[in-house]
Amino acid sequence: MLAAYQPHCVATNHIQSINMQRLELEPGQPLLFTWVLESQSAAVGMFQACQEQLKKGEEPYIMHTPQVVYEGTFNLEEQPTPKLMAYSPSWWPAYDDWPKKNLHITGNWKIPKEVQEEAALKGGTLFDAGGQHQVCTDFINGGEKPVYIGWGSMMVYSKEHMARLAVGALKEAGKRGIIVGGWAELSEESLGGDEHEELKAFSRNNVLFLKSAPHEWLFPQMACCVHHGGIGTTQASLSAGVPTVVTPVFSDQKDIGEKMNRDKTGAGTCHLSQLTAKELGARIKKCCEDPTILSNCTKLAEKMQKEDGVKTTVEFVEGYMKEQVASGEWKKKRDALIDRLQKAHQKFKKLSDPAQIFAKWNMDLAEKYPPMAAYMQDQVERYGKMTDVLSKKKLWYVKSSSGCLARKGEALKSDECGRYKEYAVLEEVGASKNGSRLHVRRLKGIGPEEGWVSPVVSGKDIVVKVASAPEIQKITFDAIQKQFADIVGKPS
């Protein structure tokens, strides 16, 4: 049985896969394309390994063949093993393009509040020392509800920077706070020397630093929670009914921050490394005072607290073992999967290029996902447009690996309007009298809709003319390979 802690573990056109969060898509590429690229990048390695075995006269283990990736990513409905999603369905319901069977959102798997509080009283590993529990309780009861700030394992710049950001934000918001040190080991000493005396004075009167704290016990006593947006920490603060400020660093955290903004249950900020104390303080203040945010958090918490992810999971597993495993249904589905893999392997093992496998995958995905079908149709139309422009000898592409600067006007000192990335395909719609500047429109790739560019800079070709239709295909292929390389490194 498989379990995932994030919705980012099931293919969809609504969010990017976790491993492709840094991927910059071309205009028109659906979010689903990140899942396609991720599956293809995994399948390439499996294809190469299988080819090596076949050359030696060895037959690959069927579960190590490329089609396994497709089955596990895009055909969950027919998998013998169900997938459990261990987070709150009240907070993050299933997407409309997810499988309608074989996928179960159980609710969050968490240690109950009572168990955490008992451990805290004993000074267990969930709390840094037995005496800290009383210190924390006294601080909470010593004034208005404090704000929690903790970044767990996330670190940017230095512990001094993070401590000043946290205390500075509390000062800006006019709030008391509990700051949990995390991996950065934040403490009052982290604030620095005498030049930061103003922050240190505020901290002495309004801030409690802790090494660690049990979320289920602590968060319900907070006015607001500030953290990196890990899915477990986020559910802990939301299920406590507390507005949450997410300061993302990587992975799914940006999406979680954006969801806070959409749902109006808190706020998502820019990347933690770019955040200022003034900006964070303003978000904290808004979350503590906005009636819509406060009301939404209360309503969501009521729903989340009715969920019991652990109990739901145990009941499901027990039922599954009886209804699917003991009955023999699991084995039938397993045998059917092996049969599909064997048939695919017999077809694909004769191929010399995994791109031929991916062409079949894309056709299947176009039938399954309308956005993929629309994207493929768009690519056909774009190719037709590019060949038409080619026939007029007006088709160019960006050759330089560093891309090409675009400006709004013909003059070299006119305002910049963006940058075309390598392999962007451009239509020439005008040119300067001497031909040193081109007015172009983007047909494919990444960059502004249109702009003025210099084909040659310091004797180096930056933008070059496309010579033939096969070259269009090569440019398109190379662009996809670059997307691979940007994320997983150059293919071997």
**pLDDT digit string, tens, across residues 218-243:** 999 999 999 999 999 999 999 999 99
Domain residue ranges of the chain, discontinuous segments joined by +: 2-108+311-368, 113-294, 370-488
| Lowest model confidence (mean pLDDT) among 19-33, 50-64, 219-233, 333-347 | 19-33
At 430, the amino acid letter reads: G
Would you mind telling me the total number of residues written for the chain in this entry?
Answer: 492
- pLDDT of 131 reads 57
Cα–Cα distances in angstroms (integers) from residue 82 to residues 3, 77, 153, 326, 334, in the given order: 9, 8, 31, 15, 12
CATH number of 370-488: 2.30.30.40
| Gap between the Cα atoms of 164 and 162, Å rounded | 5
- pLDDT of 334 reads 97
Mean of the per-residue pLDDT values of the chain: 92
Strand partners, 207: 177
pLDDT at 306 over 50: yes
Residue 254 pLDDT class (50, 70, 90 cuts): very high
Tell me if 266 sits within 8 A of 208, measured CB to CB.
no
Count of H-run helices and E-run strands, the chain: 16, 18
CA nearest to 256, candidates 37, 450, 88, 423: 88
- pLDDT of 491 reads 43
Enumerate long-range contacts of 11-17, CB under 8 Å, 24 or more apart.
11/35, 11/73, 11/74, 12/95, 12/97, 12/98, 13/97, 13/369, 13/371, 13/372, 14/95, 14/97, 15/252, 15/255, 16/255
More confident position, 111 or 161: 161
- pLDDT of 123 reads 62
- pLDDT of 486 reads 65
pLDDT at 162 over 90: yes
- pLDDT of 125 reads 57
Residue 492 pLDDT class (50, 70, 90 cuts): very low
What would the pLDDT profile of 326-373 be if each residue is shown by its tens digit?
Answer: 999 999 999 999 999 999 999 998 898 898 999 999 999 999 999 999
DSSP for 160-186, written as a single string: HHHHHHHHHHHHHHT--EEEE-GGGT-
Sheet holding 450-453, edge to edge: 416-420, 404-407, 450-453, 438-444, 425-431, 395-398, 463-465
| Lowest model confidence (mean pLDDT) among 15-29, 117-131, 134-148, 281-295 | 117-131
Predicted TM-score of the model (pTM): 0.87
Give the DSSP H/E element, type plus range, for residue 245.
strand 244-246
Integer distance in angstroms from the first to the last C-alpha of the chain?
33
CATH number of 113-294: 3.40.50.2000
Q: What percent of the chain has pLDDT over 70?
A: 96
